[in-house]
Amino acid sequence: MFKLSKPGNALNWLGHRFLQSHFGQLLSLLIRALSSILSKKGNRKIDIQEIISHTYHVGVKSLPLIFIVGTILGTVLIISTIGLVPKVGFGNFFGNLMVIAIVRELGPILTGFLIAGRCGSSLTTRIASMKVNSEIDALETLGINPMRFLIMPALIGGIISMLIANIFFCISAIGTGFLITKAATVFLDGFFKIQLEWSSYFISILDALSPVDFVMSFVKPFVFASIIITNACYYGTRIPNDLRAVPKATSHSVVSSFIFIVASDLLLSFAYILSYVQNVKSVI
């Protein structure tokens, strides 16, 4: 006869299997990095300096690229839909479009992709190079916790940078995209007659925004930044002592971040289902 395993043993087995999985190891790394803040071993002044340094390199240095991509995306969206204005009316159309496309979806996702490609890859390369050169082992020999010294500042700096970059991306897409489109309509006034007023445009965006949008504008950057930095540190610390493995670890880090960002965005999008159902009911 087969013996039934005890519930406690089954839970222990499931927990062990989960921690051995890729997602479980990423989650474990994230928790250990955040919990290292509470450790008494460390210098708060150095921690703050490292966090500011990571915020500058990840966030501030990425702003020019984010501004360019955001402006282009916002301009393309407005120009692509400008022909629909006479059919659907200007009213709430542009506001709903910009909120759904920029604030809810493309803004956080593209910002995450840019941060992962530019900064996540460099962080993976840096940590992997330190691993190959035994610099991480040297830190442990000196009594320095690598989790506190390397990963925790990168994680907090990445989260702060992602929040700033996402807001900057949305402002660039909505504001600068409108200005460029407005300038184009004025310059090409002889070809078509389109009235674009900033007051109507801005008010329609404010009307389309919901409390969930404000919450998700903080939740999504937090989740995406945690994914990017954790992936970068995970692949950087897991490579063998072979310098030829560094580029492979970097590419795996970026691709994995892209996949997890899209998957997590899909899960977070379910937060809008209730508002969508209410809108459909109001129409019906």
User: What does the pLDDT read at residue 206?
Assistant: 86
- Predicted confidence band of residue 205 (pLDDT cuts 50, 70, 90): confident
Q: What is the pTM of this model?
A: 0.85
Instruction: Give the model confidence (pLDDT) of 53-100 as tens digits.
Output: 888 888 888 999 999 999 999 888 888 877 665 555 555 567 788 888
The residue among 99, 102, 158, 111 whose CA lies nearest residue 261 is 111
CB crowding 132-165: b at 16 or more within 10 Å, else e:
beeebeebeeeebbbbbbbbbbbbbbbbbbbbbb
Instruction: Give the model confidence (pLDDT) of 40-55 as tens digits.
Output: 666 778 888 888 988 8
Q: Which amino acid is at 280?
A: V
The two three-digit tokens of residue 227, written as one number? 């994914």
Instruction: Give the model confidence (pLDDT) of 228-278 as tens digits.
Output: 999 999 998 888 887 888 888 899 999 999 999 999 999 988 877 766 656
- Predicted confidence band of residue 36 (pLDDT cuts 50, 70, 90): confident
Q: Are 229 and 120 in contact (CB under 8 A)?
A: yes
- Predicted confidence band of residue 189 (pLDDT cuts 50, 70, 90): low
